[in-house]
Amino acid sequence: MIGVKQEISGFLVPYFQAGTDRILWGIVNLANADSGDIHCLHDDDYLTVYEPNGHVRWQGLIHFEYKRNNSPRREFWTRQVVMGYIVHGCQADCEPEKWAEMFFEKLPATLRKK
């Protein structure tokens, strides 16, 4: 439907897409968890992340930046490294390690696609 934003409820995952060498940030849809239905986050999506007890840990509009945490290794000049992993983008208003922790902890979340 035109004008209707898709909302996905599930849990966050650090996702290695086939053919890439870096982590993309995604959410697994609880309604289709067995299918491996992973939705990657994009700029202008709206994400709400919850603690296991239901309290909101982080929420906001997604806006990735690609300059912080650039790797000092010559072969990774244009790549960001967070917690020892090569990643594709970090949330602009969140510390990279705190951002990545939410995905590695597979916290519950809802995502409203732009």
What's the pTM?
Answer: 0.84
CA 84-68-44 angle, to 5 degrees, is: 105
- Distance, in Å, from the CA atom of 111 to the CA atom of 9, rounded to the nearest integer, reads 6
* Higher-pLDDT residue of 29, 46: 46
Percentage of the chain modeled with pLDDT above 90: 54
Distance CA 37, CA 58 (A): 23
Higher-confidence position of 29 and 12: 12
In total, how many domains does the chain have? Answer: 1
Q: Around Cβ 28, how many Cβ atoms within 10 Å?
A: 21
Instruction: Tell me the pLDDT of the chain averaged across its residues.
Output: 85
Residue 78 has pLDDT above 80, yes or no: no
Q: Does the pLDDT at position 33 exceed 90? A: no
In a domain, 2, yes or no: no
89 versus 57: which is more confidently predicted? 57
Residue 79 lies in a domain: yes
Per the model's pLDDT, the better-predicted residue between 94 and 81 turns out to be: 94
| Residues 61, 47: Cα–Cα separation, whole Å | 6
Question: How many Å apart are CA 90 and CA 66, to the nearest integer?
Answer: 7
> Residue 1: inside a domain, yes or no?
no
- Full residue range of the structural domain in which residue 67 is found: 7-112
